[in-house]
């Protein structure tokens, strides 16, 4: 609202569903979508956190919270139905819920740890995307809508995580491209490959890292910390500054001919490559 009048944005009248919308990039995208004129359902496992996001939204009347686990197909179908019941349709699905492996290397994991971490991380990061797309595609066909997947620099380069996380994000890139082919011409499917940001990304329970937050790592950095080896080393790590590409890809008016593409928002890692902080100390 501005001077009592609603200001139209790129997503005016749109309806979106964002998984993992309670914090980090998911919350930032949901809030940006509302600012751009959309109505948004945010989905996550912690209803109290989701409700807090709704209360602090730019327009709480256009944001709705649903508690659900992306590993549960029935819960995802219910979330889609609730979104349509509340807002009348669904234009955009943002698959975003995920966890990180905190760069746990293969040689630092036992066989059981590796197996359990793989099962947990892939069930959220990859299966969660599959199931959300399956739950939403019927409604998206009706609106000629789109899916925007949160990818990562780890979808293209090594050392954005450990082997389990990197494999999961490579899998999501392949899933995005396959669904772009399968769901055309009615649904566009694209991705945003984010670089490092100050976000409340958690680790797997299988490694007892569920209470560790990536935001803590950023908080520990000081002005004396050497810049990372990427061209835009002074670029923002605020999740809100990563949201523009999601708006672009969600808007059929702005990106109608675009599908099967991943926009890298990573400070230029792809220009220089991703240097490993591990050096030669692998084994």
pLDDT tens-digit series, residues 112-122: 999 999 999 99
| Domain limits for position 225 | 15-264
Mean pLDDT over 226-251 rounds to: 79
Q: Rounded to an integer, what distance in angstroms lies between the CA atom of residue 40 and that of residue 32? A: 10
Q: List strand residue ranges (DSSP E) for 158-222, in order.
A: 188-194
Q: Is 213 within the bounds of a domain?
A: yes
CA gap 159, 21 in Å, rounded: 26
Contact 31, 7 (CB under 8 A): no
Give which of 151, 135, 124 is closest to 69, Cα–Cα. Answer: 124
Check whether 282 has a pLDDT greater than 60: no
pLDDT at 3 over 90: no
Q: What is the CATH number of the domain that holds 186?
A: 3.40.50.720
- Per-residue pLDDT at 101 exceeds 70: yes
Residue 124 within a domain: yes
pLDDT at res. 159: 85
How many CB atoms within 10 Å of residue 110? 8
- The single residue of 14, 129, 165, 246 carrying the catalytic annotation is 165
Say yes or no to pLDDT of 178 above 60: yes
In a domain, 240, yes or no: yes
Concerning whether 165 is annotated as a catalytic residue, the answer is yes
Predicted confidence band of residue 210 (pLDDT cuts 50, 70, 90) = low
pLDDT band at 233 (very low <50, low <70, confident <90, very high): low
With respect to residue 271, please indicate whether it lies within any of the assigned structural domains.
no
pLDDT at 172 over 70: yes
Higher per-residue confidence, 157 vs 68: 68
CA distance 206 to 110: 12
The tally of domains found in the chain comes to 1
Choose among 151, 143, 141: nearest CA to 176.
151
Whether the per-residue pLDDT at 213 is higher than 60: the answer is: no
> What does the pLDDT read at residue 271?
78
61 within domain boundaries:
yes
pLDDT in tens, 247-275: 999 999 999 999 999 999 987 877 776 55
Residue 24 lies in a domain: yes
pLDDT of residue 4: 46
Residue 160 belongs to a domain = yes
Nearest to 201 by CA among 53, 98, 72: 98
- What phi and psi, each to the nearest 5 degrees, are found at residue 231? -55, -50
Residue 4 is classified by DSSP as: T
More reliable by pLDDT, 228 or 72: 72
């Amino acid at each position: 609202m501005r001077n009592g009048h609603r200001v139209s944005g790129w997503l005016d009248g749109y309806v979106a569903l964002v998984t993992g919308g309670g914090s980090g990039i998911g919350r930032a995208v949901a809030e940006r979508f509302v600012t751009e004129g959309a109505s948004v359902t945010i989905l996550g496992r912690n209803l109290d956190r989701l409700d807090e996001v709704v209360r602090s939204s730019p327009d709480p009347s256009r944001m709705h919270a649903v508690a659900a686990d992306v590993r549960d197909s029935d819960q995802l179908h219910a979330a889609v139905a609730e979104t349509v019941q509340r807002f009348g349709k669904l234009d955009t699905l943002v698959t975003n819920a995920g966890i990180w492996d905190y760069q746990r290397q293969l040689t630092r994991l036992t066989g059981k740890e590796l197996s359990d971490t793989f099962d947990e991380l892939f069930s959220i990061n990859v299966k969660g995307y599959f199931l959300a797309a399956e739950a939403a595609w019927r409604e998206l066909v009706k609106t000629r809508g789109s899916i925007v997947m949160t990818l990562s620099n780890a979808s293209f380069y090594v050392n954005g995580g450990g082997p389990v996380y990197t494999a999961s994000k490579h899998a999501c890139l392949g899933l995005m491209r396959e669904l772009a082919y399968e769901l055309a011409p009615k649904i566009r499917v694209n991705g945003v490959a984010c670089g490092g940001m100050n976000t409340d990304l958690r680790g797997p329970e299988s490694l007892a890292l569920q209470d560790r937050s990536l935001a803590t790592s950023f908080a520990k950095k000081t002005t004396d910390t050497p810049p990372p080896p990427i061209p835009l080393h002074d670029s923002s790590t605020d999740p809100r500054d990563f949201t523009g590409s999601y708006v672009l890809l969600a808007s059929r008016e702005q990106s109608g001919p675009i599908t099967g593409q991943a926009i890298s928002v990573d400070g230029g890692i792809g220009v220089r490559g991703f240097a490993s902080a591990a050096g030669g100390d692998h084994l």
